[in-house]
């Protein structure tokens, strides 16, 4: 911002010099902060963005449910990633599944279906997570964005549970500051 008057604000960026007019004009400069906050709220709403910004990542070990779900999912990704894991000669079979050949056979049978279905479901959840992060002004140039998205791809719905909890907490903090 290069200048502010009772009638407008002037900006300069990248060679452009736009002017934003106050409608109605400010009665005094004391009114400027309140009006700018109001304009910011209107702009966020028009852009479909939230005034709650996400700036941090809550890891899966933050709560027991997330940790259990993350662990089960990552083990499922690893085990069902290739059919050979359920055959003699694989580390998984030779160290554990040789004791349960019927279960190994069952896993081998469902592997071609389970892995792609799980990948599709988790890919869909990632698109929802990306949309939610963008709405809360967390962009992909930060490690936190990648952590949320990566965690979501591995574990799915429990990452949303943690993110929604964080958004609720920030909303409560913001509301308590107003009062």
Tens-place pLDDT, residues 88-132 = 999 999 999 999 999 999 999 999 999 999 999 999 999 999 999
Quick one: residue 156, left, alpha or beta (phi over 0 = left, psi -120 to 50 = alpha)? left
The SS3 of residue 8 is strand
Residue 149 DSSP symbol:
H
pLDDT of 23-79, one tens digit each? 889 888 888 888 888 887 888 788 888 999 999 999 999 999 999 999 999 999 999
- Give 45-51's long-range contacts (Cβ < 8 A, gap of 24+): 48/135, 49/134, 49/135, 49/136, 49/137, 50/135, 50/136, 50/137, 50/167, 51/174
pTM of the model: 0.78
CA distances from 16 to 3, 19, 127, 132 (A): 14, 10, 35, 31
Helices (H), 25-156: 32-47, 64-80, 91-95, 101-135, 143-155
pLDDT of residue 44: 79
Average pLDDT over residues 141-163: 97
pLDDT of residue 122: 97
At residue 176, does pLDDT exceed 80?
yes
At residue 136, does pLDDT exceed 90?
yes
Spell out the domain ranges in the chain: 3-47, 60-178
């Amino acid at each position: 911002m290069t200048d502010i008057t009772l009638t407008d604000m002037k900006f300069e960026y990248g060679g452009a010099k736009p002017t934003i007019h106050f409608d109605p004009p400010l009665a005094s400069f004391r009114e400027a902060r309140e009006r700018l906050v109001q304009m910011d709220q209107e702009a966020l709403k028009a852009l479909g963005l939230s005034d709650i910004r996400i700036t941090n990542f809550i890891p899966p070990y933050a709560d027991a449910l997330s940790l259990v779900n993350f662990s089960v999912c990552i083990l499922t990704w690893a085990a069902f990633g290739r059919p050979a894991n359920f055959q003699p000669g694989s580390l998984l079979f030779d160290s554990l599944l040789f004791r349960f050949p019927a279960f190994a056979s069952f896993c081998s049978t469902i592997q071609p279906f389970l892995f792609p279905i799980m990948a599709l479901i988790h890919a869909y959840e990632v698109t929802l997570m990306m949309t939610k992060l963008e709405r809360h002004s967390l962009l992909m140039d930060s490690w936190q964005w990648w952590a949320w998205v990566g965690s979501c791809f591995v574990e799915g719905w429990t990452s949303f549970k943690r993110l929604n909890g964080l958004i609720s907490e920030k909303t409560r903090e913001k509301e308590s500051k107003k009062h």
